Each structure stands twice: as C-alpha cells, then as structure tokens.
Structure 1
Amino acid sequence: MEHKKWLRMDNASKIFPATMTATDTKVFRMSAAVRDQVDPDILQQALDETYDYFRLYHAVLRRGIFWYYLEDSEQRPQVQLDDQPACAQIYHFDKRNLLFRVLYYRNRIHLEVFHALSDGTGALWFLDHLLYNYTIRRYPEIFKDQVLNYPGKGSQKQQFDDSAARYFGHEGDWLFSRPVRVAVNTVARVGKAVGKAALGVSGKARGAAGDHKESTRKKPKARVYHVRGTKTPDHRMRLVEADMPAAEVLRLAHAAGTTLTVYLTALFVDAVYRDAPRPKEVGTIAVSVPVNLRSYFKSSSARNFWSTLHVGYTYGQNGAEGDSIESICRSLDRQFKDQLTEEKLRKKLNQLRALEEILFFRLVIRPVKDLALKIANARRNRNLTLAMSNIGQVAFPAEVDPYIEQLYALTSAARPHFVSISHGDRLTICFTSPFMETEIQRNFITTLTEKGVPVTVAVNRVSIEEMPEMKEGVGRG
C-alpha cells in the first residue's frame, strides 16, 4: 500500500477537539482482564504487530486554518503502566502525540482512545487484535503447534472509509493524500448538527412520557432535570465498577418486556429520580444513547460511524399507571423503536449532511467554528441529564477467548454516564461521573440486588480523605 500522509477528519470527529475540557477529555477506555498477570514485554510485541495492521492509529491531530485534520506519523507507541486517572487527557494542541495509549496494571490491559480518532466499535477491533497477538505470545506452549490466522476486521482501505460521507452525502477524501487538503468545512457541518441534536432532546425527550404524540402536544414541556454534585478536586472521574451475571439481568429485562439496553436505561432514570432532593420537581430525565450505524449500514470502517438518539421520561404524567420501572421501560421502549429504524436514521443524517454544505460556513476559520461548536455543545448539555451506552455481548476468536476473563468499558463524563459490556456470562457496568457523590450508582445497584442479582462493586478514590497521598500529588485513579 502506498504511504500516504494526510487524512481529512470525518464529520462526527470534528466536535471532540473543540469541546474537550479538563473534566470531559473525550477519551474512552476499553479494558480486558486476562488470565494471568500482564507481561509488559510481550504486550509491547503484541502492540507493535497490532499497530502495524491499524494504520489509522498512526495519526496525530493537527490544527489547520479552516479545520482540524489527521497527519500520518512515524511514532511508535509504547505500553505504559497504568498509574494515572482513567481517561486522562490524550490530545494536547501543542504536542504531536498519538491519539491512543495502551496501559497495563496487574492482570488488566487497557486501551484508551481520543474519540476524534475512532468510536467504540473501531477501538474494540483494535483491542481484539491486540489481545489475540498478546495471548498467542503469552502462552507459546499452547499455540506452538496450531495454525493460527487472525480473521481481521476488513482491509486497511476499509478501515479508513468515511462511511457517513459514503452513505449520507457525496464521498469525501478518506485516504491520506500527499497535498495538505485540510478540510474547509462548515460550522453547520458539526455545530448545527449538535444544535439540532439538542433540539431533538427538547422536542422528543421532554414530552416522551405520553403514549401518543397528540397527548404530549397538549401538555406543557417539562424542564430537563440536571444532576448536581461536588466536583472532584483534580478533575479525575468518580468511577464505580459493577460486575454481575448477565443472564440474571437479561431475565429481568425480558420480564419487563424489553431489551437489556432499555432496561438498564430505565434503572438509571429511576436511580436519578430517587436521588433528587425534591422528586416532585424533577420533570424530565433525558438520556443520550449512541447508535452504532454499522448495525444499519454495512461498514468495516474503524473510524467514527455512529449517531445518537435522545430519549426521556417525564415523571407524574402516567396517571394511574404510576412511575414504576416497568412504566419507564414501556415509555423508553416506544421511543427506542420509533427512532431506531434505517429510514429514520437515514432521513436524520441526510438532513444534517445537507446543512453541512453551506458555502459560507465552509469558509469560516477554525477558531470561529470551535466557538460555534462550544456554544452548540453547551446548548445540547442543557437538554440532557444522563448518558449511557450498551456495547453488548463481545466474543473473541475461539483460540484466545478462554484467556480473556472479563471486559470493561468507560468514558470521560460531563454528566453521570455508564457503559455496559458483556463477555461470556458476565455483565460489567462502569459508571463515570464528574461528581464525588455515589448515591445514583448506589440506587441503581441496590435495585438490582433487591431483585436477586448478585453484584460486586469497586469504587475508585477521588478525594484527599479517600486518598491521603493526593496531598503530595501522587496517586492512581
């Protein structure tokens, strides 16, 4: 393959450099607990081979006059001991560093990625390949006589594919190109998209509790509830990790007549409501949920290819039915089904693409676009209470799957957030929050334990009282 140099950023990526903060670094982590303690030398060998396969991960982020762009790099990643807070900042505008890192601690291997580079699915492919390469080297006596052939996730050309441009508009430049073709795009290309998403929350989520559109139109829009709390002293996230048997939670979801994703979202909504200082004044709890577009439009891209849907539940509008978990599930289930169709996703994304091509905004310089994105993002945040993501069931190639004990996923958070992921018979839910308090997480977990689900919980330390060594400026997160 010819060595290329420049890569135009896909549209979903452009918001992340402009809106990252010290608290919300736009970094996510995917982790695996392996059978034995990690050997860092072997992990480095595995990373070297994986890195050579995923050319997308060679990129560094640069700032152009009109937009950010990715530049191919000759840097080589080095595995690191995990001794910093989870999802610490990766992108620094004054450094040309890679946009991911591989960490290890005891028997865990972590992949952290700046979201402008890839989404969770693309990162999971990288982690899959990394764990495969690590396992066959870690246990040579087991694999020495086997013929091994990693199946891969598509060609290198497919990994670079800007699938959103291919499906929802004209095909953009998606290969590294020798001339510096920095994207001369539009505030509307991302900023208006984010603003439109925010309007989607105020229009859909706020009035989402009723059964019919007619009924919601007759009722005044309830305000969106916002969680308040004490910020952590050094911007590290509060992380609560909950491990449980997947089958038990799936049984509860099916008993409620819904999917695991909807059921977990309902538990989160209920947990927030029960934590509210004045529950009668809660109004609407609005939730942002990412959608993997590969489930609807065929793609082997390792880049960002996702959208979001916004759902919500308004308390006190269900009459005699009340606000039980089952009632919340029914309301959310209707909203998920209404929005998650190929036709509606295509219509929404085509409309956003049309806004992106306005010539005036394409000529606006990057700092102005950054400001517009910050404003649009702030508007979006005002219309959200929570965020969640269910990655689903993950399996690895049969040769190495038995050596992977458990998976974990989490992300930096501007608001209470959780990511759930399943492997084998275990479901792991990682809650992240910018606040020190853990009452919401406790409410969520207590609901499960009261329904008979055994849950193992681990919590990180974030305060001086919890972690005295912070007085000297030292400590793991």
Structure 2
Amino acid sequence: MLNAKTARWRKLDNAAKIFPATSGKKDTRVFRFSCDLKEEIDGDLLQRALDKTMEVYPLFRSVLRKGFFWFYLEKSGLQPIVSEESKAPCSSLYVRDKKTLLFEVTYYKNRINFEVYHAMTDGTGATQFLKELVKNYLLLSHPDELSDPGPLSEEDLTSQDKEDDSFYKYYMKTGRKREKEKSDKAYQLHGPKTEVENMMIVEGKVSASALLAKAREYGVSITVFLTAVLLCAIHREMSPRQEKKPVILMVPVNLRKYFPSRSMLNFFSWIDPGFQFETGKTTFEDVIAHVRDYFKAELCKERLADRMNALTGLEFNPVLRAAPLVVKNLGLLAGAKFTEKNTTAIYSNMGVVTMPEDFRKYIKYFHVFTSTPKTELCMCSFEDELVMSFTSRFENVNVERNFFEILKENGLKVEMIENDFPERDRHVFAGTRIFQWFTFICIAAAVIMGVVNAIALPGILWSLPGACAVLCLWIVFAIGFYKRRNLLKNAMWQLFFVMACCIGWDMGTGWKGWSVDYVLPGSIILTQLFMLIIASIQHLESKDYMIYYVMAAGTGLVPAVLYAAGAVGESWPSVICAGISVLFLTALLIFKWKELKSELSKKLHL
C-alpha cells in the first residue's frame, strides 16, 4: 500500500464548515458506528487494534483549530485511548478552546463503538475506519484462526487520496444560473423533549433479503421503499388540519457514486423527498410512486452537481471569504435554523458493510445512529442483518412505532433491539457549582444594595455604580470560567474587557485619563508577562502560543498611537509598553519567523 506523510494542517471541506458553527449540547454533530461481535470485548486488545488502525488512517489524529476567517484541522501528537463506554451516546467530541481528538473508540460487553465528529468525516470514511479497527481486533483475538488480508482500503490509496477535498476538486463555475428550488415549510413534529444530554434511541432489524424482495414488489429500491414508509409513519401522527403542510425528509446522498473520489473527508449532498398527504385519499402506493419519481429526477449527476457547485461557490465569493469567522458562524447558524423549517425528519442510508469472509463468523451486525435536533433514521446492513436505528429528541416514540408497524403490515418480520447502555458517568465539573454560587452572590449583592439604597438614602442613587461594579466583577469571573481551557485566550479576553471597563469607568466619572495613562499600558505589560510564564510552565509548542503573542504585542502598540495623538497625559507608561511590545514582535520575527509565518498562514487562510 502506498503511503505518504499527512498534511500538517488542512482546510475544512465544504460540508464540514457548518458543523463547528452549529454544534452544541442539543446537537453535538457526532455520529456512532458500532459493531456487535459474538464475543466479549477485551479492552487491551482493542487498544492495540486502534494503534494499528491509526497507522493506516493517521488523518484522524487531528484537532480542530480556529482561524480568523475559517476553522481548520491540524495534525496533533495526541494518542487515542480506548475506554469502556460510560457517557451518553453521541456526546460532544468537539470542545471549544480545548485541543482534543475528534473521534473516540469505546466498548461495552460485545460492542465496539466508533464515535466521530462530522467535521472530520462522513459515513463512508467512518465505515472504512471501523472495518479496519474490527479487522485488527479480530486478528489479535483469534491469531491462530485468522490471517491478515492487509488494509481493507484500496491497495494504491495514498494519504493524499484520503485527504482529498472532493468538493474543491469537482467544483465547476458553469455560469449557468441554478434553478431556484421551492422551499415549502414542512410539517414539524412536536412534543415533550428529552433532557439535553439524552436522546431516545429505538432500533430494529429485518432480513435484508426479505426487505429487498418487498421493495422489488413495488418496483423500487430499499431506500425509496423506506423513505415512503417513514413519510407514512409520520403522517399517522398528523391531524387533518396539519396536512396543510407537507412531510419532507432530508436524505443525504453519497457523491462518490457520481464523482470518482476515494476521499475519507465529507463528500455528500442531499435531496428533500416529501409528500402532501390527504386523509382518506392517499394510499401507500401513491407515496411510493411519488418518492420513486422524485428520486429518479433528483439523483442524477447534473442535478447533484448544480447543488454542489452552488454551495461550494459560496466559498469563492470574495465578500464572504473576507468576512471574519464570527460573522460567518452567525450566518451559518442562521441558515441552519432557517432550513430546519423545511425538514420534518432525516433518513440516512449508510449502505452495505462488507468484511473478509473469514471474519464474518465473529460478527453479529453493524449499526449506526447520529445526534439530531429532530428525528432521524439511519440504517446499514451486514450479511442479511439490516439494522434501522432511530434517534430523536422527543420523548414520544410513536413515529418509530408506526414505522415498524408499517413494515410488519407489509409482511416483514421485525426484531426490536433492546437498548443496552451502561450506567452513565454523571460527573459534573466542580467549577460549575462554584460559578453558579458566585452568580447568585453577585445578584444578591446587587439586589441588597438596591434595597438598602431605596430605604436608607432614596435621594442618592449610589447602588447603580455599585451594581455596575458587581457586574464587571461577574464578567471577569465568567470569562475566566468559560475560557478556562485556554489560558492564553483567556488572558486576551480579560485584557480587552479590563481595558473597555476601565475606559468606561473613567468616562462615566468625569474623564481623568487614568485609564489610558496607567491601566491600559500596565494591563498590556502584565498580560504579556503572564503569557510568557504560562507558555513556559505548560511547555507549549510555538503553534499554541504564537498567535496570542502577536495579538498581545500588537495591542501593546495602541498606547504608542494614543501617545502620538496626544491622548495621554502621562507618557512614560505608554512609551515603556510600546518599547516592550516592539521587542516582543522583533524577537518573534528573528527567532520564530518560520513558525510565525506558518501560524499566520493557517489563521489567515481565506
């Protein structure tokens, strides 16, 4: 197998760019691919299998970093550690301001779980990784019975192939105006929601051959058949009044079937099959016929290329490219919220999972599901076991019940899979409780000052500046709490807030100039000193502190500008601050130029 070094950093592909902006506790953008074996899992052997798998897929040893214009993935030296399952399925993997791997391998009884953040890969990439992991594990657990067939990916697959951005590769600016798609407001499921960290998970399995035979009776594929079943399952929960809106599904499409690509990055699009139901008039056959025609019209290379080119083309818009990341994130979040209204539920077919013949007898089945803010159905098959997995944020599981009932009505034997998850580790960070108490004390202090002011000295509003002081103290504490994972970033946030707060106090108390004469340069010098100490204590690599050094040194030139403009009364603090900052920047340019250039190219890439 050909191999090469993986890139030190790379841009996010077009589909991945939305995930960091929209992921959170309600939707972690994590999906789980699992393999159930016919034997108990040995954690030590699984760790060895994972280590071997990482040699084939080193691109997964990446962390998500934040630039000024885009997020990007950077190669890291972090080692993935196998652990026994203890968290809720599809828990957060991307933690802001914390450098962590974007995947996790866990086990429970006879199940191997591979969970991955969607910005890293899609279903195809996850399937390849899990297959390689399971193969390596079975080789270790049955050394006398199995021989190594080599990597399960293609023989001539290089690291460059795996990291290929196929959206960029196949993007073509045609000049043809894309036909504007009609975006109907879809019917939305309603009901009590689960707790933020929980999802309802309902799984069932059927014979793949029996399901295929049933789909062929209707003259359609399994995907079309199950799309129609899900549409009808949702309709059974609708009242006649709710039929004014159509039921619309989002169905991801693997673009590798239409454009030659061996990339393990995201390379998918989607279509939106739907149906406008009428009670007493719509039959199951009507829904299948409509979905079949829709799939036939939409699943063609030209239509998929139009959508892909339209979305990828946004990256090349000069105005959008130059917008700061915070602006882009707000736009992506708003766009995601808007498109949610056009989707009732999601259906994703991961396809057939294959393994070398000698390994199959040790495997029961594969299954996959994902985090979702709505209701989502994922399915995959192995041998004759086709597993359908629902995840939902609703406590009500009527749609899931309806779905499997419709399959039974069509003569299919459905076997429900009993959820088997371990006792959850509910460890709560101790600082959270401290922050909650501090917040309560600050509010109590402001309220008490207001009450005392109203009773004792109603003519003098001294409680207002007191409350403002308490608010400033709370904000400083809040910044420290929420940015605790990155002390250098924390320092820059604290610096900017202290500067703004002091200037505001100075202006509000009859401008004396103390904020710009002393506090501004003094705070900058202390921040620079703090950064040097932290970088030394934590033994940070240059890429971890470089950009913060530049920001702190650049901010240190502000007092010099104010001095030149005659805006400061006492000049020596500003002059000293500017001198230290110039030396700071000079040292970076002389001793760390290569690292500085590399870091700026990553942070400033458009």
Whether the TM-score (by the shorter chain) exceeds 0.5 is: yes
Provide the rounded CA distance (Å) in 2 between the counterparts of 1:119 and 1:255: 32
Aligned mate of 1:19, from 18, 22, 39: 22
The worse-fitting range, judged by mean Cα deviation, of 146-155 and 250-259 is: 146-155
The equivalent residue for 1:183 is: none
The worse-fitting range, judged by mean Cα deviation, of 56-65 and 400-409 is: 400-409
Provide the rounded CA distance (Å) in 2 between the counterparts of 1:273 and 1:336: 20
1:340–1:365: structure 2 CA closer, same or farther, 3 Å change rule?
same
The equivalent residue for 1:294 is: 256
> Is 1:284 the equivalent of 2:246?
yes
Provide the rounded CA distance (Å) in 1 between the counterparts of 2:6 and 2:391: 39
Q: Which amino acid aligns with 1:416?
A: T
What's the CA shift for 1:34?
1.0
Aligned mate of 2:397, from 438, 452, 462: 438
- Give the SS at the match of 2:356: coil
Counterpart contact for 2:68–2:325, Cα < 8 Å: yes
Aligned mate of 1:240, from 202, 205, 225: 202
The equivalent residue for 2:385 is: 426
- Give the SS at the match of 2:305: helix
Summarize deviations over 1:213-254 as a string: whole Å, max 9, x none: xxxxxxxxxx42000121112431100011121122222211
Provide the rounded CA distance (Å) in 2 between the counterparts of 1:364 and 1:298: 32
Q: Any residues of structure 2 matched to 1:152-171 within 5 Å, and which?
A: 152-153=153-154, 154-169=157-172
Aligned mate of 2:115, from 106, 112, 115: 112
1:97–1:117: structure 2 CA closer, same or farther, 3 Å change rule?
same
> Is 1:385 the equivalent of 2:344?
yes
> Is 1:449 the equivalent of 2:408?
yes
The equivalent residue for 1:341 is: 300
Q: Which residues of structure 2 form unaligned runs of 5+?
A: 428-606
The structure richer in strand per residue is 1
1:25–1:151: structure 2 CA closer, same or farther, 3 Å change rule?
closer
Counterpart contact for 2:56–2:151, Cα < 8 Å: no
Summarize deviations over 1:257-302 as a string: whole Å, max 9, x none: 2110011111111111101244653520011010101111111100
- Give the SS at the match of 1:142: coil
Aligned mate of 1:270, from 228, 232, 242: 232
| Percent sequence identity over aligned pairs | 35
Provide the rounded CA distance (Å) in 2 between the counterparts of 1:137 and 1:235: 35
Q: Any residues of structure 2 matched to 1:86-125 within 5 Å, and which?
A: 86-125=89-128
Counterpart contact for 2:88–2:197, Cα < 8 Å: no
Q: Which runs of 4+ in 1 moved over 6 A?
A: none
Counterpart contact for 2:128–2:152, Cα < 8 Å: no
Counterpart contact for 1:31–1:109, Cα < 8 Å: yes
Provide the rounded CA distance (Å) in 1 between the counterparts of 2:235 and 2:218: 19
Q: Which amino acid aligns with 1:67?
A: W
> Is 1:149 the equivalent of 2:163?
no
- Give the SS at the match of 1:388: strand
Counterpart contact for 1:30–1:410, Cα < 8 Å: yes
CA RMSD of aligned residues (A): 2.3
- Give the SS at the match of 1:360: helix
Counterpart contact for 2:32–2:114, Cα < 8 Å: yes
The equivalent residue for 1:353 is: 312
Aligned mate of 2:131, from 128, 132, 136: 128
- Give the SS at the match of 2:266: coil
Provide the rounded CA distance (Å) in 1 between the counterparts of 2:122 and 2:6: 24
The equivalent residue for 2:532 is: none
The equivalent residue for 1:373 is: 332
1:357–1:244: structure 2 CA closer, same or farther, 3 Å change rule?
same
Provide the rounded CA distance (Å) in 2 between the counterparts of 1:39 and 1:431: 28
- Give the SS at the match of 2:27: coil
What's the CA shift for 1:473?
4.7
The equivalent residue for 2:570 is: none
- Give the SS at the match of 2:107: strand
- Give the SS at the match of 2:358: coil
Counterpart contact for 1:262–1:332, Cα < 8 Å: yes
What's the CA shift for 1:77?
0.3
1:160–1:280: structure 2 CA closer, same or farther, 3 Å change rule?
closer
Provide the rounded CA distance (Å) in 2 between the counterparts of 1:358 and 1:383: 25
What's the CA shift for 1:152?
2.2
The equivalent residue for 2:457 is: none
What's the CA shift for 1:147?
6.0
What's the CA shift for 1:53?
1.4
Provide the rounded CA distance (Å) in 2 between the counterparts of 1:411 and 1:296: 25
Summarize deviations over 1:93-115 as a string: whole Å, max 9, x none: 12100000001111110100000
Counterpart contact for 2:131–2:152, Cα < 8 Å: no
Counterpart contact for 1:201–1:384, Cα < 8 Å: no
TM-score normalized by structure 1? 0.83
Summarize deviations over 1:356-391 as a string: whole Å, max 9, x none: 311111110001100000100011001110100111
Provide the rounded CA distance (Å) in 2 between the counterparts of 1:57 and 1:414: 26
- Give the SS at the match of 1:13: coil
The equivalent residue for 2:60 is: 57
Q: Which amino acid aligns with 1:160?
A: E
Counterpart contact for 1:26–1:412, Cα < 8 Å: yes
Structure 1 or 2, whichever has the larger Rg, is 2
Counterpart contact for 1:16–1:116, Cα < 8 Å: yes
TM-score normalized by structure 2? 0.66
1:4–1:343: structure 2 CA closer, same or farther, 3 Å change rule?
closer
The equivalent residue for 1:407 is: 366
Q: Which amino acid aligns with 2:151?
A: Y
Provide the rounded CA distance (Å) in 1 between the counterparts of 2:242 and 2:338: 25
Counterpart contact for 1:239–1:459, Cα < 8 Å: no
Q: Which amino acid aligns with 1:256?
A: Y
Counterpart contact for 1:238–1:461, Cα < 8 Å: no
What's the CA shift for 1:255?
1.4
Provide the rounded CA distance (Å) in 1 between the counterparts of 2:216 and 2:275: 20
Provide the rounded CA distance (Å) in 2 between the counterparts of 1:283 and 1:200: 17
Q: Which amino acid aligns with 1:420?
A: M
> Is 1:306 the equivalent of 2:268?
yes
Provide the rounded CA distance (Å) in 1 between the counterparts of 2:381 and 2:276: 30
Summarize deviations over 1:425-448 as a string: whole Å, max 9, x none: 111000000111100000111111
Counterpart contact for 1:273–1:282, Cα < 8 Å: no
1:75–1:169: structure 2 CA closer, same or farther, 3 Å change rule?
farther
Provide the rounded CA distance (Å) in 2 between the counterparts of 1:383 and 1:439: 21
- Give the SS at the match of 1:289: strand
Provide the rounded CA distance (Å) in 2 between the counterparts of 1:279 and 1:247: 39
- Give the SS at the match of 2:15: helix
The equivalent residue for 2:598 is: none
What's the CA shift for 1:412?
0.5
1:357–1:439: structure 2 CA closer, same or farther, 3 Å change rule?
same
- Give the SS at the match of 2:98: coil
1:77–1:201: structure 2 CA closer, same or farther, 3 Å change rule?
farther
The equivalent residue for 1:67 is: 70
1:295–1:110: structure 2 CA closer, same or farther, 3 Å change rule?
same
1:424–1:29: structure 2 CA closer, same or farther, 3 Å change rule?
same
Counterpart contact for 2:25–2:196, Cα < 8 Å: no
The equivalent residue for 1:397 is: 356
The equivalent residue for 1:220 is: none
